Amino acid sequence: MEKDTKRRSGKRKTLIVVLVVALVVLAAAVVGILVLSNWEQRDKELNEQMQQIAQKTAEPTPSGEPEATASVSKAPDIPIDFAALKTQNQDIYAWITIPGTDIDYPVVQNPLDDSFYLTHNLAGQESVEGSIYTEQFNSKDFTDPNTVIYGHNMKNGSMFAGLHQYEDKAFFDENREIIIYTPEEKLTYRIFAAYPSGNEHIMQSYDFNDANVFARYLAGIFNTRDMKANIDGNMAVTEDNKILTLSTCVKGQDEKRYLVQAVLEEDE
CB 154 within 8 A of CB 139: no
CB 198 within 8 A of CB 206: no
Supply φ then ψ for residue 266, to 5 degrees: -145, 135
pLDDT in tens, 91-126: 999 999 999 999 999 999 999 999 999 999 999 999
Point out which residues pair with 60 in neighbouring strands. 66
CB 43 within 8 A of CB 117: no
Q: Which of 61-75, 134-148, 178-192 has the lowest mean pLDDT?
A: 61-75
Q: Where are the alpha helices (DSSP H) in the chain?
A: 2-54, 70-74, 82-88, 169-174, 202-205, 211-222
DSSP string, 108-151: E--SS-TTGGGSB-TTS-B-SS---B--TTS-SSS-SSEEEEE-
Point out which residues pair with 148 in neighbouring strands. 245
Which amino acid belongs to residue 102?
D
pLDDT in tens, 206-244: 999 999 999 999 999 999 999 999 999 999 999 999 999
How far is the CA of 252 from the CAs of 63, 167, 170, 257, in angstroms? 59, 16, 25, 11
Name which of 244, 160, 143 is nearest 202 in CA terms.
244
> Per-residue pLDDT for 65 more than 80?
no
Q: Give me the torsion for CA of 86, 89, 95, 97, rounded to 10°.
A: -130
pTM: 0.81
